[in-house]
């Protein structure tokens, strides 16, 4: 299961307490596609005290792979009948009992948005339905919104960009006449103002992601040297500190900077919503390595056995970047 490093755990606990003091739980939401969907679930479960909602496209339940790449590529993608929710609930309870995730009771107040295309041949729709089953152990079903009726292949679905809806690859961005980003955010954070007609490129901030990675090199961690964030102009003014919130958007496998450059973070649809709704969007970036040839976020353990807990290198890195954005653009006390 998890190997507990007490020194790192103490640091994470202190950081979590400070973050709760700086920003309310309603100010952080998260979403992801495919491996990014699994990562979004991991982050939500691990840091449920500060995350108020999660949107998942083509992702499955927490700790589904159980640290095993074979399980990841079989039951957690193509054979959902083999997924034991009871086993994953037990694993979650163990993580909670060993203080490597936040108390699961925090999730009761969360909102969950789930999507699976009817033509997804990479992550079967039954996997996402297993995620729904997992969440009902912690969250009332009235707080879980599902979309299972759109004929989409495995992709991040938009209403104005990408391949044909039933096309597979190469960038996994498909135009199905359905705005995933808008639907996710409108459900998680409430009624939205109309998205802006454009999102200025000057509002894209390149973040030195490598400087937030503990212990490992970026390549070892499976993380790119840089991440990106969209900072609306209104969130950049010192006088407006406290008016903005943060959303973390994880890309999927083969959607890395070396593979598709800026395609995901410029065309997913989050930035236009961010501009008119005082929303900062963080785009963490994975990269391929020997154990992770497709540049997926770690949802099976290639970066270490603690990957799904607050001790996981990718989890810590993203948490620290969220802390940084809050300190710089939201908290009135740096």
The greatest distance separating any two alpha carbons of the chain, rounded to the nearest whole angstrom, comes to: 53
Q: How far is CA 83 from the centre of its chain?
A: 21
315 Cβ contact partners less than 8 Å away, ≥ 6 residues apart = 42, 43, 46, 47, 307, 308, 309
328 Cβ contact partners less than 8 Å away, ≥ 6 residues apart = 334
Whether 71 is catalytic:
no
Q: Residue 164 has which token pair?
A: 């044909």
Cis peptide before 45 (omega within 30 of 0): no
CB 178 within 8 A of CB 158: yes
Selecting among 154, 245, 247, 323, the annotated active-site residue is: 154
Q: How far is CA 97 from the centre of its chain?
A: 24
CB 44 within 8 A of CB 255: no
Selecting among 31, 34, 110, 303, the annotated active-site residue is: 34
Whether 34 is catalytic:
yes
How open is the CA angle 11-47-271, to the nearest 5 degrees? 115
Question: Using CA atoms, how far apart are residues 229 and 31, in angstroms rounded to an integer?
Answer: 14
Give me the half-sphere count of Cα atoms (radius 13 Å) on the Cβ side of residue 48. 26
CA torsion angle 284 286 287 291 (round to 10): 160
Selecting among 120, 171, 298, 323, the annotated active-site residue is: 120
CB 297 within 8 A of CB 38: yes
Whether 120 is catalytic:
yes
Q: Which helix (H) or strand (E) holds 131?
A: helix 125-135
Helices and strands in the chain, H and E counts: 11, 11
What residues act catalytically? 34, 120, 154
């Amino acid at each position: 299961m998890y190997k507990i490093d007490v020194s790192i755990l103490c640091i994470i606990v202190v950081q979590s307490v400070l973050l709760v003091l700086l920003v309310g739980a309603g100010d952080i939401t998260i979403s992801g596609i495919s491996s990014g969907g699994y990562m979004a679930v991991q982050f939500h479960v691990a840091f449920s005290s500060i995350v108020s909602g999660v949107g998942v496209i083509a992702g499955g339940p927490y700790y589904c792979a159980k640290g095993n790449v074979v399980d990841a590529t079989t039951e957690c993608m193509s054979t959902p009948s083999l997924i034991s929710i009871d086993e994953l609930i037990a694993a979650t309870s163990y993580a909670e009992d060993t203080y490597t995730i936040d108390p699961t009771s925090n999730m009761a107040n969360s909102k969950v948005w789930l999507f699976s295309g009817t033509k997804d041949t990479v992550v079967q729709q039954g996997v996402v339905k297993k995620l729904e089953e997992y969440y009902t152990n912690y969250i009332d079903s009235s707080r879980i919104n599902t979309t299972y009726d759109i004929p989409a292949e495995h992709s991040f679905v938009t209403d104005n960009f990408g391949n044909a809806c039933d096309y597979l690859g190469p960038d996994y961005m498909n135009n199905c006449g359905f705005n995933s980003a808008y639907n996710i955010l409108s459900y998680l954070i409430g009624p939205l103002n109309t998205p802006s007609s454009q999102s200025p490129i000057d509002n894209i901030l390149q973040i030195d992601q490598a400087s937030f990675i503990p212990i490992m090199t970026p390549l070892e961690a499976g993380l790119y040297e840089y991440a990106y964030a969209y900072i609306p102009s209104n969130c950049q003014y010192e006088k407006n500190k406290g008016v903005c919130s943060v959303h973390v958007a994880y890309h999927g496998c083969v959607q890395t900077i070396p593979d598709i450059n800026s395609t995901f973070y410029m065309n997913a649809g989050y930035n236009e919503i961010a501009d008119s709704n005082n929303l900062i969007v963080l785009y963490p970036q994975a990269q391929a390595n020997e154990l992770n040839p497709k540049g997926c976020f770690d949802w099976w353990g290639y970066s270490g056995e603690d990957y799904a807990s607050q001790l996981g290198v990718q989890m810590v890195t993203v948490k620290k970047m969220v802390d940084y954005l809050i300190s710089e653009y939201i908290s009135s006390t740096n």
